[in-house]
A and B are shown apart, each in its own frame.
Chain A
Amino acid sequence: MSKKIFSFAFFAICILLSTSAVGAESGKTLVENSANFDGKTVVLRGEVIGVMERGDFAWVNVLDGEVAIGVWVRNEDARKISFVGDYRHVGDLVEVVGTFHMACPEHGGDLDIHADKFTVLTVGRGLDRPLNMPLALLSVALAAGAITLALYLRHVRREREKMVPVPSY
């Protein structure tokens, strides 16, 4: 349960950070008002959840807690990223200032942001995911119990079959 509370708290903080930032738009606002923002300079803050280098540039997927958007950044900027968010890591919190495209002509119609300025605000970190020992012991006991029961009942059924002939239908 503590993991769940932690996750909710983390994402609530992310959303608050991104929406309360001066001038920063939330990913949801950008997606839902993309026609208004098309071709304009926007600011997006969020957690890095993916980096893919493509030649001199890279795609950095940024999640603001609710919606993730692809950001096209220069390689030297992408290399500033230390942590990519996943189950075992909190990704770097970054701020992107760039041109928003509702349907980018350069990238097959994707909704994206071409970054002019890319800043790492907070370096991410590794997450400790401790084993819940009582649950682990319970799971081993249940697994052992289930297998033992299955084998025992199979044995009993076979013994019964030997004793009582099964009528044929």
Chain B
Amino acid sequence: MLFLIPPLEKEDLKIIGHSLSNICYLSGALLLLPIIVAVVYEEFDVIPSFLIGSAASIFFGSLLSFFLYTKREMEVKHAVVMAAVAWLVAPFFASVSFWLANALSSYLDALFESVSGFTGTGLTVAVNIDHLPRSVNFLRHFLQFVGDGIGIIVISLSILGKTEISSVLAFKGEAKDTGIRPSIVRTSRIIVGIGLTFLIIGTFLFTIAGLKEGLDFGTAFFEGLNLSMTGYATGGFTPHSQNLLYYHSFWFEVVAIILMVVGALNFNLHYAVLGGKRREILKNMEVKILLLWLLVVGSLVSANLLFVGLYPSPEALFRKGVFQAISAQTTTGFQTVYPYHLMFMWPVLSVLLLVAAMVSGGCANSTSGGIKMLRVGMLLKSLVREIRQALMPKSAVVTGSFHHVEDTPLTDKMVRGAATIALSYLILFSIGTLITVGHGYGLEDSMFETASALGNVGLSSGITSPLMPATLKAVYIFLMWAGRLEIMAIFVLAGFIILGLRKGIKE
């Protein structure tokens, strides 16, 4: 089939490279923000690491912009390849800052932390989070907010205001094709606006909770800001090694649940509700499935934990069982249970339910990962349609539809697309699990950690640590990257590279 595809042209590379330069400029600018935090907390010694990361990013961007300059518009292939590469390039420059700040024990760990941040995963290999500079900790959380909470390409569109065609395509590449109209540039600004609104609300609520629970104002505000960024982004990084358990607080967990659920809802839904369509929350198929699945997983996990008698009270069942279920389903990764307890004391059924929640994920076009509820809904609707078709006379034509902001007929093309992504996802999940098992870990732990990396979740069975094998770190970096781009972009990039190698690049 390769012979049917036209060979790559030099212009293709220019289009991708030139678009990438904007991401590099933006990445360079974003890496300057932690310097403000470093100045406030008098951590002057780590400022050079941010400056160097930023300078490297701007330097690389300016070279791309100059040598690969073109005025030609993007096509779908360029946008998808650009998004795939952007999600490697941006973490690379942030990893330089992590590495130079001595925040992690090796460069590979710095890259792992950076990819985990940008993709909103939340798995961490930081050796001693409690003693990290506050500015470095801020960068970890900030990466999740800009990378997964809003999307670095969305930010570049909202600031740089690219042309409509390029913008639409870039949106598709970043898996944030919300379909909100009339203008993509305006849409990207709405997404940024929604993110900032929830960031302010979340920071306020966490600060109040922090003050109530015995933190001083400065700490409550700073940690509240960080937790809001990662809560809304369904990222899961926290400023402490104990994760959310550090605060020993019901109220912190309640605020976290609000942000996780809000972050896991579709941007279209936020937009519709903001536009006055409040009933959309009750009518939207994806939201209904998400809430139903959350109810099922939360209830079953709690019932299972109650059955084995692990937790002593309904409050404990909620704060451990339901909280972990919400964290897994929204693909956040906030944790109120030690990883060892999760894997070795929780019953297998509960762990497998969390794996299922992580694999299925939150809503499409939200900050969450996984296969996404819209696709799950389409596949379930298609299954029902097939059963009905089998029961009807041969001449009968069974149609299906669903409500997602508007009533939409379920087409075969939609079902095929959803099935392709779901299948690719499950194949990668199986391969990741096998590789982890091959490194000597148990099947249950391996499934859990692979689902967490691929679904950009961040809950950990304890496998992810600075001591894990380097090859496994590399595999998880790939899984986090593939999961954030919903896999297809990776295949297109691979096809692009193979095409270039096989047919060369035409002038």
| CB within 8 Å for A103 and B45 given contacts A139-B55, A146-B62, A149-B62 | no
Q: Are A135 and B248 in contact (CB under 8 A)?
A: no
- Interface membership of chain B positions 243-264, coded 1 if the CB is closer than 8 angstroms to chain A and 0 otherwise: 0011110100000000000000
- In the complex, chain A residues whose CB is within 8 Å of the CB of B55: 139, 142-143, 145-147
A124-140 interface with B by 8 A CB criterion: 129-132, 135-136, 138-140
Using a Cβ–Cβ cut-off of 8 Å, how many residues does chain A contribute to the interface with B? 57
B50-76 interface with A by 8 A CB criterion: 51-52, 54-56, 58-59, 61-63, 65-66, 69, 71-72
Q: Are B44 and A146 in contact (CB under 8 A)?
A: no
Nearest Cβ on chain A to B381's Cβ, whole angstroms: 39
A120, CB-defined interface residue at 8 Å? no
Q: Are A129 and B248 in contact (CB under 8 A)?
A: no
Q: Are B241 and A53 in contact (CB under 8 A)?
A: no
- Interface membership of chain B positions 124-163, coded 1 if the CB is closer than 8 angstroms to chain A and 0 otherwise: 0001101111100000000000000000000000000000
- In the complex, chain A residues whose CB is within 8 Å of the CB of B66: 153-154, 156-157
Q: Are B58 and A63 in contact (CB under 8 A)?
A: no
B214, CB-defined interface residue at 8 Å? yes
- Interface membership of chain B positions 334-355, coded 1 if the CB is closer than 8 angstroms to chain A and 0 otherwise: 0010101100110000000000
- In the complex, chain A residues whose CB is within 8 Å of the CB of B54: 143, 146
In angstroms, Cα B248 to Cα A109, docked, is 10
- Interface membership of chain A positions 56-91, coded 1 if the CB is closer than 8 angstroms to chain B and 0 otherwise: 001101010001101000000000000001111000
| CB within 8 Å for A154 and B316 given contacts A87-B132, A138-B48, A139-B52 | no
B310, CB-defined interface residue at 8 Å? yes
What residue in chain A is nearest B319 (Cβ atoms)? Answer: A108
- Interface membership of chain B positions 430-457, coded 1 if the CB is closer than 8 angstroms to chain A and 0 otherwise: 0000000000000000000000000000
In angstroms, Cα B317 to Cα A103, docked, is 10
Nearest Cβ on chain A to B361's Cβ, whole angstroms: 26
Q: Are A61 and B319 in contact (CB under 8 A)?
A: no
Q: Are B341 and A68 in contact (CB under 8 A)?
A: no
Q: Are A87 and B320 in contact (CB under 8 A)?
A: no
Q: Are A59 and B248 in contact (CB under 8 A)?
A: yes
In angstroms, Cα B48 to Cα A143, docked, is 10
A96, CB-defined interface residue at 8 Å? no
In angstroms, Cα B128 to Cα A61, docked, is 14
A11-26 interface with B by 8 A CB criterion: 11
Q: Are A61 and B48 in contact (CB under 8 A)?
A: no
What residue in chain B is nearest A68 (Cβ atoms)? Answer: B242
In angstroms, Cα B33 to Cα A118, docked, is 41
Q: Are B47 and A139 in contact (CB under 8 A)?
A: yes
Q: Are A63 and B130 in contact (CB under 8 A)?
A: yes
Nearest Cβ on chain A to B6's Cβ, whole angstroms: 15
A49, CB-defined interface residue at 8 Å? yes
Q: Which of B105, B240, B316 contacts A50 (CB 8 A)?
A: B240
Nearest Cβ on chain B to A162's Cβ, whole angstroms: 14
B30-44 interface with A by 8 A CB criterion: 41-44
Q: Are A149 and B313 in contact (CB under 8 A)?
A: no
In angstroms, Cα B55 to Cα A31, docked, is 44
Nearest Cβ on chain B to A59's Cβ, whole angstroms: 5
Q: Are A68 and B130 in contact (CB under 8 A)?
A: yes
A52, CB-defined interface residue at 8 Å? yes
A27-63 interface with B by 8 A CB criterion: 31-32, 34-35, 49-54, 58-59, 61, 63
- In the complex, chain A residues whose CB is within 8 Å of the CB of B248: 52, 59, 70, 107-108, 110, 112
What residue in chain B is nearest A3 (Cβ atoms)? Answer: B102
Nearest Cβ on chain A to B299's Cβ, whole angstroms: 17
Sorted from nearest, which 6 A-B pairs have the closest CB atoms?
A109-B316, A52-B214, A139-B48, A150-B62, A139-B51, A153-B66
New A-B pairs, 10, CB < 8 Å, besides A63-B130, A132-B45:
A4-B102, A67-B338, A68-B240, A85-B131, A88-B41, A105-B316, A111-B245, A111-B341, A135-B48, A156-B66
**Could you jot down 18 A-B contacts, CB within 8 Å?**
A11-B127, A34-B341, A86-B134, A88-B41, A88-B43, A108-B250, A108-B319, A109-B311, A142-B51, A142-B52, A143-B51, A145-B59, A146-B59, A150-B59, A153-B62, A153-B66, A154-B62, A157-B65
